[in-house]
Amino acid sequence: MPIQDPGLDVTLREPVGVCALITPWNFPLVISTWKIAPALACGNTIVVKPASYTPLSVLRLAEILIEAGLPPEAISVLPGPGSAVGNALVTDPRVNKVGFTGSTEVGSKIMALAARNITRVSLELGGKSANVVFADADIDTAVERSVWSVFGNTGQDCCARSRVFVERPAYDDFVAAMAKRTDELRVGPPLDEGTELGPMISAGQRETSLEYLEIGQKEGARLVTGGEIPQVAGGEGGFYLRPAVLADVRNDTRVAQEEIFGPVACLISFDTEEEAIRLANETEYGLSGSIWTRDLGRAIRVAKAIRTGVISVNSSHSVHTEAPFGGYKRSGIGREMGMHAVNLYTEVKNVYFSES
Ligand code: NAD
């Protein structure tokens, strides 16, 4: 860059060093690659710590990378419990950078642990994202996509748009249409071609969703459909749950504020654009979001006003590998993907060459 002193000033990007990449169970392969690919491309060596439930896909990926020519010393995969293996990695002085995806609770612990050695940290954490549907939207499409944006991966998705705000004139019809479409979803074994929703990861995860359904109803919400444990032929032993729609939810209740990480949609009505923005922002999270409207000016205003790392208009997309992804507020720090990932996996060095 041009500088005042005589000479030449050059800025270099260098690898951070050893990166500990700690990942969750909900998209075990995909989320790992979001970290592994840019970390290696930036010249780092990596230690991947997959979630205890889901180590196999990353172990296989590491084998494939080595078969493809990656020096074996550039990658290690260390499965094991977060409390032991994860903790040891985050506090090890040989680790220069921690890239973490998981819950906000664990992310906060990791940030505190990493502070000991001033280890670089990036965090992709939880969410409780808003799906804002205005009455002028293409309601059929909004219903179809809203169903998937909350129930996809059986609701175990950090980007789940689980707070569905619907403008009052469209609200009743939207609730009925969403309940109908939800009822039609085919819950079944993941390897069946016809299955739309598979089981949840564990008995505990399903129990949490069931507890929230009770909490929601005690808080005054109306269970419109779902929440039953179905009998699934060929799925014996799986933790299945019918996706549930809670209507007339208040945004300040637990069911609307806490991340459930299961197939539970909270439907909430609103009257004005200002109210929709206020409600969407009344959350400790800020990861994803959608806006449904045919009014371009409104789409621009609302997209700019909602405090979230990612938002899509007339779409339920959250992630494009070319574009930055990450959270505001308690949803995280840093942006993965695209060119932004380079900031996570490099140090910046300034070199000045004097003329004299
Ligand atoms: P989690 O926080 O329980 O675990 C994530 C990873 O951290 C696992 O590998 C776990 O073993 C490890 N870990 C646990 N305790 C640790 C410790 N003390 N030190 C170091 N590592 C530790 O999360 P989960 O249950 O696997 O995944 C669900 C959560 O992840 C949800 O909150 C979800 O929103 C979030 N998530 C966020 C994104 C995102 O991109 N923002 C994506 C997927 C999931």
Residue 322 bears catalytic tag: no
Report the pLDDT averaged over residues 46-70. Answer: 97
Tell me the residue type at 204.
Answer: G
What pLDDT does 208 receive? 98
Exactly one of 19, 124, 159, 259 is catalytic; name it.
124
Query: pLDDT (tens digit, 9 = 90+) per residue, 173-187?
Result: 999 999 999 999 999
Please, which pLDDT band fits residue 356 given cuts at 50, 70 and 90? confident
Residue 63 bears catalytic tag: no
Query: pLDDT (tens digit, 9 = 90+) per residue, 261-302?
Result: 999 999 999 999 999 999 999 999 999 999 999 999 999 999
CB 36 within 8 A of CB 21: yes
Report the pLDDT averaged over residues 222-234. Answer: 96
Is the pLDDT reported for residue 1 higher than 90?
A: no
Average pLDDT value over all residues in the chain: 97
d(CA 175, CA 186): 19
Q: What pTM, to 2 d.p., does this model score? A: 0.96
Do β-strands 264-270 and 120-124 pair in parallel, antiparallel, or remain unpaired? unpaired
Rounded-to-5 percentages of helix, strand, coil across the chain: 35, 20, 40
Query: pLDDT (tens digit, 9 = 90+) per residue, 158-217?
Result: 999 999 999 999 999 999 999 999 999 999 999 999 999 999 999 999 999 999 999 999
Q: How far is the CA of 182 from the centre of ligand 1 (A)?
A: 28
Report the pLDDT averaged over residues 65-86. Answer: 95
* Cβ neighbours, 10 Å, residue 66: 14
Q: How far is the CA of 102 from the centre of ligand 1 (A)?
A: 2
Please, which pLDDT band fits residue 116 given cuts at 50, 70 and 90? very high
What pLDDT does 321 receive? 93
Query: pLDDT (tens digit, 9 = 90+) per residue, 313-336?
Result: 999 999 999 999 999 999 999 999
d(CA 169, CA 48): 49
What pLDDT does 311 receive? 98
Is the CB–ligand 1 distance for residue 262 below 6 Å? Answer: no
Q: Is the dihedral of CA 335, 336, 342, 344 positive or negative?
A: positive
- What DSSP element (H or E) covers 234? none
Q: How far is the CA of 60 from the centre of ligand 1 (A)?
A: 21
Do β-strands 97-101 and 18-22 pair in parallel, antiparallel, or remain unpaired? parallel
Q: Which candidate, 158, 50, 26, places its Cα nearest to that of 99? A: 50
Q: In 3-state terms, what secondary structure has residue 123? A: strand
